Amino acid sequence: MKFNMLALAASWMLATGTAFAQQETPPACPAAGPDGPAELHRSWILEGWERAPEDPAFKFADKLGRYYDLDGEGVFYDDLAPNLRTARRAADYGAMWEGPFNNMRAAIHAVSDGPDAIVGERVASTTLEFVARLETNDGTVTAIVDRSQLGWECDGRRWVIRHEHNSARTVSEGEIAPFLAREAGKK
């Protein structure tokens, strides 16, 4: 009789989908809002990569650590990176930027298109276009338009960048001035 009751209960649970399977918990990473991938991409460029003349030394972990798993692996590429290197670890990617950014007097950015996002439960992809005015300590100014694509993974607590690809082209300062003025007006 006990066996029949257990068999009946198990049959009912399987039929109704309430078997002893683990219930999936909802992802801890929001799909939208300030901690969603699209807005994180926007703040990544507008806050993380900004540099003012009075800023302390650029330390990647301090400025951008919230966006990366610094001990994690991934693929990180920027065609402005020293020696066009592709890094496989976020910490290595950050280390290669510290020298160039500490040689900068100022780095000012504005978003010119996007962000656009495709967001799943565990992975997301975002793209945006930004402009930047980069001024080195010797006064050399470079203006760029850059298309940025970030691949994100929900690590159970937050979105982290696992894939990064940035492609820039040099333009005149006049071409980016309207975007920089609009961004400055928002602050």
Q: What is the mean pLDDT of residues 126-130?
A: 98
The CATH T-level fold of domain 30-186 is Nuclear Transport Factor 2; Chain: A, (3.10.450)
Q: How far apart are CA 64 and CA 67, in angstroms?
A: 6
The per-residue pLDDT for 82 is 84
| Percentage of residues in the chain having pLDDT higher than 70 | 86
Q: How confident is the model at residue 166 (pLDDT cuts 50, 70, 90)?
A: very high
Q: Which residue ranges make up each domain of the chain?
A: 30-186
Q: Are strands 73-78 and 159-171 parallel, antiparallel or unpaired?
A: parallel
If residue 109 lies in a helix (H) or strand (E), which one and from where to where? Answer: strand 104-119
Q: What is the mean pLDDT of residues 48-67?
A: 96
Does 132 score more than 90 pLDDT?
A: yes
Q: What is the mean pLDDT of residues 25-53?
A: 92
CB 72 within 8 A of CB 162: yes
Does 94 score more than 50 pLDDT?
A: yes
The per-residue pLDDT for 185 is 84
For residue 172, the SS3 value is coil
| Percentage of residues in the chain having pLDDT higher than 90 | 81
Does 74 score more than 60 pLDDT?
A: yes
Q: What is the mean pLDDT of residues 170-182?
A: 97
Distances (CA, A) of 27 to 69, 115, 120, 123: 18, 22, 10, 11
CB 101 within 8 A of CB 111: no
What pTM was estimated for this model as a whole? 0.83
At 144-155, the pLDDT tens digits run: 999 999 999 999
